[in-house]
């Protein structure tokens, strides 16, 4: 049995769909459903049981779950604007550390979500080189909470006994409950639908025109294909970036939405909130050299192909869930 924490969340629920597709339904889902619409992400998934996050650790530590193959730990507060540092330490760092220690003691496979937010402003690059990892300076507390666990695993010399994934800009179906943390695809689609226009932040650097800030975008369906490989192939050990390995602009992304809707491109560039100006990343790019030589069934989908699938097969539907 595999345990998937954050299984009702965005990437977690799409991973459940991938696992079901591969014939796995002996799964335990852990999450905190609360009052959001996140529960809808679980409706079409097959799994053995569900446990609330606050109840999970005591049950795990009491060995209430027999025959565990491994744990995928995606459960965390993913808000980059969360300011309660103590909450993030408990929820993202201490919780992860406890699960990791259990998995290590039981010699179970452990795959966890780190974040590209650990790279901060990117001045040190976007490599998972462990010599660089201690020097990284995240720009927000969320990124730091993820960095803390990476550093703990590094100090304990246990990164070679687990897989940590630094997700870049992942987007796609089942992210609807994330409110302001949804992708620009989801938010811009709503703007275009209601106003016929999309909004992007102005640039405040002379070397970047408005909307020409770049990101490494990856469709969630491609992301979970890789996560599945991390789960099932023991050769993967350590920290890995997970992005497309190429940059595209916010303008490219939004133009793909207009194209998927067969509408003329209309973009308004709006002022960036003062609270974001000092923390805004103008360039991210995952170092994906680890993928060279790795046998894969298909390349990642293009940005245009992915956005078209997301818009036409999900966002425009009355029930947009995967």
**Which residues are known catalytic residues?**
142, 178
Quick check: 167 and 215 in contact, CB under 8 A? no
Quick check: 97 and 152 in contact, CB under 8 A? yes
Helix residue spans in the chain (DSSP H): 10-21, 53-61, 85-88, 95-106, 141-155, 184-195, 220-232, 250-261, 274-277, 303-310
Neighbours of 188 (CB within 10 A): 24
Give the span between the Cα atoms of 270 and 250, in whole angstroms: 13
How far is C-alpha 302 from the geometric centre of its chain's CA atoms? Answer: 18
Tell me how long the chain is: 322
Quick check: 2 and 19 in contact, CB under 8 A? yes
How far is C-alpha 54 from the geometric centre of its chain's CA atoms? Answer: 22
Using left for φ > 0, alpha for ψ between -120 and 50, and beta otherwise, residue 253 falls in alpha
């Amino acid at each position: 049995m595999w345990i998937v924490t954050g299984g009702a969340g965005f990437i977690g629920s799409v991973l459940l769909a991938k696992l079901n597709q591969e014939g796995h339904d002996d799964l335990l889902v852990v999450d905190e459903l609360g009052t959001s619409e996140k529960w809808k992400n679980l409706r079409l998934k097959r799994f053995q049981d569900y446990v609330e996050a606050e109840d999970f650790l005591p049950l795990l530590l009491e060995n209430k779950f027999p025959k565990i193959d491994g744990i995928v730990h995606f459960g965390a507060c993913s808000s980059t604007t969360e300011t309660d540092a103590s909450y993030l330490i408990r929820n993202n760092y201490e919780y992860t550390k406890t699960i990791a220690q259990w998995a290590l003691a039981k010699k179970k496979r452990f795959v966890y979500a780190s974040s590209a937010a650990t790279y901060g402003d990117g001045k040190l690059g976007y490599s998972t080189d462990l010599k660089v990892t201690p020097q990284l300076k995240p720009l927000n507390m969320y990124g730091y909470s993820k960095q803390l666990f990476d550093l703990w695993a590094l100090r304990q010399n246990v990164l070679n006994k687990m897989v940590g994934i630094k997700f870049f800009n992942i987007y796609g179906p089942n992210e609807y409950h994330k409110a302001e943390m949804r992708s620009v695809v989801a938010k811009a689609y709503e703007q275009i639908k209601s106003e016929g226009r999309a909004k992007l932040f102005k640039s405040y650097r002379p070397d970047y025109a408005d909307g020409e800030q770049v990101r490494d975008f990856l469709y969630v369906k491609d992301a979970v294909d890789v996560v599945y490989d991390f789960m099932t192939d023991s050769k993967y050990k350590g920290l890995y970036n997970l992005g497309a390995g190429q940059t595209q602009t916010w303008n490219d992304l939004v133009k793909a939405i207009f194209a998927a809707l067969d509408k003329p491109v209309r973009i308004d560039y709006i002022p960036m909130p003062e609270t974001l100006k000092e923390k805004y990343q103008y360039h991210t790019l995952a170092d994906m050299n680890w993928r060279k030589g790795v046998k894969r069934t298909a390349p990642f989908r293009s940005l245009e192909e992915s956005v078209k699938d997301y818009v036409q097969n999900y966002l425009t539907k009355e029930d947009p869930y995967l």
